[in-house]
């Protein structure tokens, strides 16, 4: 039996199929989106410390509202000493 024929016979399945499809697409999107974040390491051999390349001025969250970043002087001086 074809899925389309089943849906035409039992119309109460339409919302269930819609919600499951939306959840699957959303989960797939978030998985792919998370792979390109700077805190995810896929290949450790090419870049073993990717957190050094994070731009603090660029927001790392999915949604950022009114967030401003200012460097901490003590951390900057320690970072300069360790390089």
Is there a contact between 67 and 57 (Cβ–Cβ < 8 Å)?
no
* pTM score over 0.75: no
Question: How far is residue 35's CA from residue 42's CA, in Å, rounded to a whole number?
Answer: 8
At residue 11, the 3 state secondary structure works out as: coil
Structure tokens at 44: 């450790």
Number of domains in the chain: 1
Check residue 42 and give its pLDDT. Answer: 73
Check residue 45 and give its pLDDT. Answer: 77
Check residue 39 and give its pLDDT. Answer: 66
Check residue 1 and give its pLDDT. Answer: 63
The residue range of the domain holding 64 is 3-82
**Can you give the pLDDT of all 83 residues of the chain as single tens digits?**
688 888 889 889 889 999 999 999 999 999 888 887 766 777 767 777 767 777 777 766 667 677 677 777 887 888 888 76
């Amino acid at each position: 039996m074809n899925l389309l024929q089943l849906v035409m016979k039992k119309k109460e399945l339409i919302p269930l199929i819609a919600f499951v499809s939306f959840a699957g697409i959303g989960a797939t999107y978030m998985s792919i989106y998370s792979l390109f974040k700077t805190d995810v390491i896929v290949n450790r051999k090419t870049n073993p410390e990717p957190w050094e390349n994070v731009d603090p001025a660029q927001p790392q969250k999915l949604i950022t509202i009114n967030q401003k970043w200012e460097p901490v002087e003590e951390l900057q001086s320690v970072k300069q000493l360790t390089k």
